[in-house]
Amino acid sequence: MKRHAHVSLSAALLIVLASACFTVIDVSVKYLSQRYPVPLLVWARWSVQALLMLALLAPKLRWKLVRTGRLGMQLTRGVVLIGSSICFFSALKYLPLAEATALNYTSPILVTLMAGWFLGERLTRPRWAFVIAGLLGMILIVRPGSDVLAPAALLAFGAASLYATFQILTRKLAGEDLMVLLIYPALVGAVVLSVPIPFLDDITWYPIRDVALFVGIGIMGFFGHLLFIRAFQRASASAIAPFTYMQLVWSTLAGWMVFGTLPDMWTFCGIVIIAGSGVVLTWYERWRASLPQSEPAAVD
């Protein structure tokens, strides 16, 4: 009898809610980026999260919150994630919300390739099919003649590439505590971006609404990551990975409701192909993992 991993309803719900939190961040960033420099938004995103983690977790964990045996890799990983945030927030400034999010979701394709090259993971036929399908979806989104075929699309690709690198580094730090993995990117973003911030913006007064959005970006990021952690504590990664693509749904709805933009037919097809190929690959590999076989299943 084939045994399939149980998909916890609560874990799936947590992933869906976490994706909604990240979409709220993207909507706020797109709105604020029309008036404020992107590095300021990235600084607010990670500085607020760093302060929240220090305030809520440091009294209990103390030095355990930052204790690591691989400080250099933790700092490098933090710099890479901050670079990804800068690229993606810049892309959000110019691209429609759904299109920018979809292009950023090409990172799983890059992770699949990089895991084969740098981590020695097997690139099976289904994984190659996933890569090819994802590239096809990307081409449909940035096809010649579309509004997405612009320099801003390169920023979205840059964000995806850096985020894929971040995920590979995270796998290399698999033995580290989850809270340590969360705190270092936030601290790196807060410290590194605090240096140029005074020289980027000469605004001396901010509307209360904008200040609330700045703080809200960090709060949503903090709670979004907590929800993700709780989800992965309740179910296996392969069981709940398909639900992460809900962010593409949220982004499409938010782009329509807040900014009045909807993807055209070809772009929508590209989004569906990117999300669908990821979901199908995940379900296939879960099924393969449940079968008795003489060689290891193609699972992470």
Average pLDDT over residues 275-286: 82
Is residue 99 in some structural domain?
yes
Of 40-44, 145-149, 206-210, 291-295, least confident by mean pLDDT is 291-295
Is residue 285 in some structural domain?
no
Top pLDDT among 3 and 247 is at: 247
Is residue 84 in some structural domain?
yes
Which tokens belong to 167?
């995920």
Cβ count near 174 (within 10 Å) = 7
Contact by Cβ (8 Å): 88, 153: no
Query: Which domain covers residue 220, as residue numbers?
Result: 9-105+150-260
Contact by Cβ (8 Å): 15, 243: yes
Is residue 212 in some structural domain?
yes
Is residue 281 in some structural domain?
no
Residues 252 and 136: their CA atoms lie apart, in Å, by 19
* pLDDT at residue number 160: 93
Is residue 139 in some structural domain?
no
Is residue 138 in some structural domain?
no
C-alpha of 106 from chain center: 10
Is residue 191 in some structural domain?
yes
Q: What is the pTM of this model?
A: 0.86
How many structural domains compose the chain? 1
pLDDT tens digits along 218-254: 999 999 988 887 887 777 666 677 788 889 999 999 9
Whether pLDDT at 3 is above 70: no
Q: How confident is the model at residue 205 (pLDDT cuts 50, 70, 90)?
A: confident
